[in-house]
């Protein structure tokens, strides 16, 4: 009976010490990272879905600008071919490849949006202006989603590296740090959309 009593007294103490070792907080923090990653993917998918409509609208007005249209289409296709799952977020090389591909899409969109300066008819095309506005909004949403993701990654990485959660992270989960998105040169701001108000 005394051994049973001792066990009864030690069980809550053991549970308390385990909870202080990240037993619950590590998976919670990782799920938060995965949720934020899902939002990033959603925003990139929304942009990818808008691009063909923008390209089709521009094609009717700017037939000779095929190089710009081809570059946007190819950048979108290349970005779509690189898949990054939540399991890959601990692999910096895969995250960088995904990030680079998405940055190429952002860079390719800018000249497409600026075509309205060369083609005045585009300035009055409601579909073109609506699509431009949607893409600009999506670019801004991407920046916010990436910021939220990076904050979740920072919190997770800090948790798995600091005592006492580091114990549970290593022993129970084999947790590895997640990779953050890094801004490429010139990508700190969303592409500027010029609605042609000066002409």
> Do 90 and 112 touch, CB atoms closer than 8 A?
no
Residue 20: predicted pLDDT: 53
Mean pLDDT of 108-132: 84
What is the pLDDT, as a whole number, of residue 154? 96
Q: In the predicted model, what is the mean pLDDT of the chain? A: 83
pTM of the model: 0.77
Higher pLDDT, 47 or 11: 47
Portion of the chain with pLDDT greater than 70, in percent: 80
Report CA-CA distances (Å) from 123 to 65, 71, 194: 16, 22, 10
Residues 6+ apart with CB under 8 A from 15: none
Report how far residue 161's alpha carbon sits from residue 163's, in angstroms, rounded to the nearest whole number: 7
How many Cβ atoms sit within 10 Å of the Cβ of residue 61? 16
């Amino acid at each position: 009976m005394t051994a049973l009593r001792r066990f009864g007294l030690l069980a809550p103490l053991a549970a308390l010490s385990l909870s202080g070792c990240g037993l619950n907080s590590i998976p919670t923090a990782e799920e938060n990272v995965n949720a934020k990653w899902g939002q990033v993917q959603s925003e990139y998918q929304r942009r990818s879905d808008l691009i063909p409509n923008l390209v089709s609208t521009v094609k009717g007005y700017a037939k000779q600008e095929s190089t710009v249209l081809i570059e946007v289409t190819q950048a979108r296709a290349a970005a779509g071919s690189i898949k990054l799952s939540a399991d890959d977020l601990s692999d910096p090389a895969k995250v960088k490849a995904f990030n680079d591909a998405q940055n190429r899409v952002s860079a390719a969109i800018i000249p497409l949006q600026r075509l309205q300066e060369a083609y005045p008819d585009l300035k009055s095309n409601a579909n073109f202006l609506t699509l431009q506005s949607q893409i600009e909004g999506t670019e801004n949403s991407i920046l916010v989603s990436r910021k939220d993701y990076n904050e979740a990654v920072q919190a997770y990485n800090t948790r798995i590296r600091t005592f006492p959660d580091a114990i549970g992270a290593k022993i129970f989960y084999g947790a590895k740090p997640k990779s953050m998105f890094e801004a490429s040169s010139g990508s700190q701001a969303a592409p500027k959309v010029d609605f042609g108000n000066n002409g």
